[in-house]
A = this chain, B = another copy of it.
Amino acid sequence: MKLAVVGGGSTYTPELIDGFARLRDTLPIEELVLVDPAADRLELVGGLARRIFAKQGHPGRIVTTADLESGVEGADAVLLQLRVGGQAARNQDETWPLECGCIGQETTGAGGLAKALRTVPVVLDIAERVRRVAPQAWIIDFTNPVGIVTRALLQAGHKAVGLCNVAIGFQRKFAALLDVAPDQVHLDHVGLNHLTWERGVRLGGPDGADLLPKLLAEHGDAIASDLHMPKEIVDRLGVVPSYYLRYYYAHDEVVRELGTKPSRAAEVAAMEKQLLEMYGDPALDEKPALLAKRGGAYYSEAAVALASSLLRDTGDVQVVNTYNNGTLPFLADDAVIEVPAVVDANGATPLPVPTLEPLYAGLIAGVTAYEDLALRAAVLDGRATSAQGRNAVFTALLAHPLVGQYTYAEGLTDRLLAHNREHLAWA
């Protein structure tokens, strides 16, 4: 079994390696290729990766390369974990929207649109090259914004599944609170990537008893506090929103908070510098504790499980991003949603979802409209005029439930273009 990780030079990779090592029974990797154009980073990360495998006695081979085609050739699965423009671009995504009174966040709102516009063309190009040399490979996309990127991949006919760690994070947290094994916890998780709610927490599987009311009754404070939301609101909803919902449910409060402190990107950039220094230490042979603060907890567990289901045709249930295909009747079939799905060698098939309350359906519909328009803007190429491009960006922003006003949409469009011109073929 051969896996390739595109963007393998990420400081986050040791987390993934650690998971591959620990879970080698689930996913017996023979060859793991880390593909990255950044040779310096790749060497540091690759070295540590090999030391982790060695320490844990993993027999797999770890290869590093800057060459995509040779790296992915013959792979069974290709994991995409890119950040086009790096933390510098993220820093911009997090700051200029604030100039217009809108949240600055890397996947939500105007910053997320900027990221989508930079990322989709790069990912589609990679996927096309992957298809040429590894037509059988599954593409597992971690690259944000996962919903839009996965839709772009599926729309272009790729064998792709989108993955996020929000669901597995809740699964682990709820399991701990309930004092049961994580795999005993099934989530009635529903929505779009970074716009989800846990409507039920079932013991044993999709048909198990719903322990969410009990969880909220006994651990409501802890759950609300993790979300930085008042407990009364969570009680009132009766479901657990992901913390990304705070950008919606408390938008103006978050904007003001963001205006009182440095950006998250600045923090992460500092952390990454430190991590790379650590990785260079030949004595280090495990993921350092600091990595936990970098974000992305349990991504490796989720990735191993998903790859295993796809490659070993397990048919078990996992929360993934895939085509709606009628699951949420108010969305088009080709919308990409994030729900529990049966995953096997044919890919992901969503489990049925009971009728969704209007409170959630309305917001999902609004954000899906934005995602549709965002993808249309993201796939514009050099044949589009700059007026067409600008208009596509403006329209996506006006459609976004967190923007919705033309004054903001205009100002955001100006800034998005000014800060991302080099990434936009039509600009």
A113 at the interface (CB under 8 A from B): no
- Contacts known (A401-B401, A411-B260); A359 close to B366, Cβ less than 8 A: no
- A50-58, A63-71, A245-253, A281-289 - the one binding chain B: A245-253
Binds B, one of A96-104, A152-160, A215-223, A268-276: A96-104
Q: Tell me, in angstroms, the Cα distance from A253 to B409 when the chains sit together.
A: 13
Choose one: B98, B229, B258, B373; the contact of A359 (CB below 8 Å).
Answer: B373
Size category of the A interface is: 35 or more
Within 8 Å CB of A408, what residues of B? Answer: 259-260
Task: State in angstroms the CA–CA spacing of A401 and B403 once bound together.
Answer: 10
Beta-carbon contact of B252 and A411 below 8 Å: no
CA distance A230 to B95 in the complex (A): 24
In the complex, A49 has a CB within 8 A of chain B: no
Q: Which of A358, A362, A414 neighbours the largest number of chain B CB atoms within 10 Å of its CB?
A: A362
The residue in chain B whose Cβ has the minimal distance to the Cβ of A398 is B359
User: Cβ of A372: which chain B residues have Cβ within 8 Å of it?
Assistant: 358
For A259, what are the chain B residues with a Cβ–Cβ distance below 8 Å? Answer: 99-101, 407-408, 411
CA of A372 to CA of B255 in the docked complex: distance in angstroms? 30
Instruction: Answer whether residue A391 sits at the interface, using C-beta atoms and an 8 A cutoff.
Output: yes
Is the CB–CB distance between B249 and A404 below 8 Å? Answer: yes
Q: Does A214 contact B (CB under 8 A)?
A: no
Q: Which of B98, B367, B405, B410 contacts A99 (CB 8 A)?
A: B98
Asked if B361 contacts A251 (CB within 8 A), the reply is no
Instruction: State which of B98, B260, B395, B401 has its C-beta within 8 Å of the C-beta of A407.
Output: B260
A414 touches B262 (CB 8 A): yes
A365 interface contact, C-beta 8 A? yes
How far is A395 from B361 in the complex, measured between Cα atoms in Å?
A: 13
Asked whether A323 is an interface residue with its Cβ less than 8 Å from the other chain, the reply is: no
Q: Are the CB atoms of B330 and A362 closer together than 8 Å?
A: no
16 interchain pairs (CB within 8 A)?
A: A100-B259, A249-B404, A252-B256, A260-B411, A261-B411, A266-B418, A358-B368, A358-B372, A358-B373, A358-B399, A359-B398, A362-B365, A362-B399, A362-B401, A363-B399, A365-B369
